[in-house]
Amino acid sequence: MSTDILLIFVALALALAGRYRWRTTKLPLPPGPKGYPVIGNLFDMPFKEQWVVYHDWCKQFSSDIIYLRVFGTSIVVLNSQRAANDLLSVRSLLYSDRPISTMINELLGWGMMTSLLPYGHAWRARRRAFWQEFNPDRSPNHRPKQLWYARDLTRRLLTTPEDFLHHIDYTLAASIISVTYGINIQSEHDPNIERGATALHQLQKSAISGTYMVDLLPILKHVPSWVPGAGFKAYAERVRPDTVAMINVPYDEGTRLIQEGNSEPSLLSRSLARGGHSIHNHPDTLVIKDVASIAYVGGAETTHAALSSFVAAMILYPEVQKRGQQELETFSPARLPTFEDLPRMPYVRAIMLEVLRWQSVLPLGLAHRLTMDDEYKGYLIPKGTIVFANIWALLRDEEYYPDPDTFNPDRFLKDGKFDPKLADPIPNFGFGRRICPGRFFAMDSLWISIASILAVFNISKAKDEQGRVIEPDLQWAPGFSRQMVPFKCSITPRSAEAIKLIGDSELV
């Protein structure tokens, strides 16, 4: 029997088995596009800005939960804060599993990354190790490095402001690698940063929902790479070594520095020191290696995207920029801000949160997987359903965020003071047991970078050689996280005193 015929039979069997089980219950499935026999909604699946399409379907079907089926796989998209909280947080025991992406987990080698692991012992071990390092009480361990690289960012912006996206990317990546591995980072072209950027680019390309048929029909992973149509397999074989190198090389370098006595305090050094074990026979070597690599992936990628959105927002909303600068002048007029200033700067903190809300970094978050049949609002959600929270739509839920397209930090303030209760619903970092344990580190990095930039720079629209204003053309590259395409802007020091502040913040 040919491979094509076998695959058709497998797909048909999966689809019919699923349809038979659904017919045994009286509950209907949630609304969604009708689809076709066997293939379901394969041709309805959007490949660009899926979050916008799902939100439009939400309006079309008058439902905040949308259902699709591709071959035998059920997919549910949650389009409201209420639905996401009811299922992913309140019922987190049922919804804390992850689906296995054959392409990413198996073929590309990302399978042991904490955020992608199925719910179980391996995930709990890595989650526990990650939380030991990145819980709020551990913030003092990381803040000196975060402050150091925020200062480095201001120096780079002063020298070559036109390269602002590169500077943001480089300093944030350097910060997380230094905190994680205790490695000194080269001022440019650091091999660990370049290695990580390569692997992350490949992950971005592969993580777009529906990109690879092997994720819909995992049996295709057994097809040899030389077979016509198996280009995905050849691609995976070519780039998998980059993923392996990103995980292993900085770990090996960091452990070598520890053994030589030349390392700086880091996640790696503290993790290996727990329990008094030798580095050579540490029982948690694999866990520590995986935790370190996901710290880099999560920290560098998402914070970079958020800080790029901050620059765009300051161009479009100069009144917000001015008000943030005024607050900084009130509390730190003769120096650059430090973390000790955070409690006294509610508006700058609100700017940080509005940056996260205004342009969501992960518009569909990370997929959850339901571990048993569930019922919600009179609908059946079958066991094994892949569940997405449409973060992009949730951040435009007018019940929580009136006038959602406007960049308005005041939505997080009450009587001029920062109100933590107003920030609680923000869904950027996930839900329930799968909420991101590195969220405190990420917000620290974002806040200190935003405060440092506002203190010494004005950000405005660029001008051409004739002095005409260039309207920013804001676009995002395709990928599972939203990364801005380079755009033009003007970043200039606010005054001679600002230049002196940058120069006086010696990097030692």
Q: What are the pLDDT digits (tens) for 6-58?
A: 444 444 445 444 544 444 568 999 999 999 998 999 899 887 889 999 999 99
Return d(Cα 504, Cα 154) in angstroms, integer: 12
Determine the topology of domain 3-504 in CATH.
Answer: Cytochrome p450 (1.10.630)
CB of 126 closer than 8 Å to CB of 118: no
**By C-alpha distance, which of 341, 432, 365, 331 is closest to 96?**
432
Tell me the pTM: 0.90
Return d(Cα 297, Cα 283) in angstroms, integer: 24
pLDDT in tens, 371-401: 999 999 999 999 999 999 999 999 999 888 9
Radius of gyration in angstroms for the set of CA atoms belonging to the chain, rounded to a whole number:
24
CB of 451 closer than 8 Å to CB of 345: yes
Instruction: Give 234-280 as a 3 state SS string.
Output: HHHHHHHHHHHHHHHHHHHHHHHHHHHCCCCCCHHHHHHHHHHCCCC
**By C-alpha distance, which of 317, 333, 267 is closest to 325?**
333
Return d(Cα 334, Cα 190) in angstroms, integer: 33
The pLDDT of residue 1? 43
CB of 63 closer than 8 Å to CB of 29: no
Written as one string, the DSSP assignment of 72-129 is: TEEEEEE-SHHHHIIIIITTHHHH-B----IIIIIISS-TT-GGGSPSSHHHHHHHHH
Q: pLDDT by residue for the chain (508 residues), tens digit each?
A: 444 444 444 444 454 445 444 445 689 999 999 999 989 998 998 878 899 999 999 999 999 999 999 888 899 999 999 999 999 999 999 999 999 888 888 888 888 888 889 999 999 999 999 999 999 999 999 999 999 999 999 999 999 999 999 999 999 999 999 999 999 899 999 999 999 888 888 887 777 655 677 887 788 888 888 888 788 888 888 989 999 999 999 999 999 999 999 888 999 999 998 877 777 778 888 899 999 988 887 777 778 889 999 999 999 999 999 999 999 999 877 889 999 999 999 999 999 999 999 998 899 999 999 999 999 999 999 999 999 999 999 999 988 899 999 999 999 999 888 888 888 778 999 999 999 999 999 999 999 999 999 999 999 999 998 889 999 888 888 777 788 889 999 999 999 999 999 988 765 4
CB of 438 closer than 8 Å to CB of 480: no
